[in-house]
Amino acid sequence: MSGRAVTTFSRESTRIVLDEACDRIGVSHDGAELLRLGENAIYHVPSAPLVVRIARGPRYWDDATKEVAVAEWLKAAGIPAARVWPIDQPLDVGGHPVTFWRYIPGRRGGPGDVRVLGRLLKQVHELPPPADFRLPTQDPLQRVRPRLETARVDEDERSFLLKVFDELLAAVSELEFPLPEGVNHGDAHVQNLMITGGRAELIDFEGFCWGHPEWDLAMTATEYVTAGFWTTEQYGQFVDAYGFDVSTWSGFDVLRRAREISMTTWLMQNVDQDPEIRAEFEKRLTTIRAGRPTVPWHPF
């Protein structure tokens, strides 16, 4: 993997990477559409059709390699999930790990799919560890500090969030988790489902790890308690499908606050790209400063 520095990550810079990546595998990039810009730039390339994931830089190489291995493993285990494009990958394109995926026609998961998410997470959490590769040990906050150190925000905002982050690291280290350790998705929100023909498929395997499933469950619980994304009925469907309500556990408040800062710092990576993102970041920062839900968040 090249160690070349990656200084920008935007619609414009990632489109250059996309075009070169498609040229390398002999696929036309005409009509390519940027679907999402976050930890990765995700493009739909309709000519193939495929989805291309472009990671932010060289430090994500191991995660991209793991994603490909996880996809093959889930396929063998019979879990409905995204499948890789049949080439050797990832590719190194200008310092970016790039992976290629079969396009799944349909829609992203939404409010009516939280029950399905609970059911699929239960299946994933009960899988035995893979035999052909080793899942990394869970470290759900590993990307927060790099985001805080590089985001284009005011120094008082950065200092405050770093202080909160350090306090949360200490609090997490004291937790005693009630559920047995197992396979985790690592970014288990409902938009990491694709729904096509009445069938749900998991996507985005970058965070797959071995650890405490409470972290996966805390994602949807935080979206319910803090962000206001789900109604009480919808969250109840998620709990019923999985069989455990993490929000009733005494340690949930720590995981909730940790998820809040993770969700906020994910957004702040692009705070200078769009005034709507900046406004949402400030809203979430207000929630973290207050230590409790204030106003509903807007999903991105």
Q: Are 284 and 222 in contact (CB under 8 A)?
A: no
Smallest Cα–Cα separation from 118: which of 185, 207, 182?
185
User: CATH for 111-290?
Assistant: 3.90.1200.10
Which residues are registered as beta bridge partners of 201?
Answer: 194
**pLDDT tens, position by position, for the chain (300 residues)?**
444 444 578 999 999 999 999 999 999 999 999 999 988 999 999 999 999 999 999 999 999 999 999 999 999 999 999 999 999 999 999 999 999 999 999 999 998 999 999 999 999 999 999 999 999 999 999 989 999 988 888 999 999 999 999 999 999 999 999 999 999 999 999 999 999 988 999 999 999 999 999 999 999 999 999 999 999 999 999 999 999 999 999 999 999 999 999 999 998 888 888 899 999 999 999 999 999 888 899 988
Where are the domains positioned within the chain? 11-103, 111-290
Q: Which residues, in sequence order, are CB contacts of 125 under 8 Å at separation 6+?
A: 182, 183, 184, 213, 216
pTM: 0.90
Fold of 11-103: Phosphorylase Kinase; domain 1 (3.30.200)
Q: Token pair of 53, please?
A: 């994931």
Distance CA 231, CA 228 (A): 7
Amino acid at 61: W
Amino acid at 108: R
Q: DSSP H helical segments within 174-251, as ranges? A: 214-222, 232-242
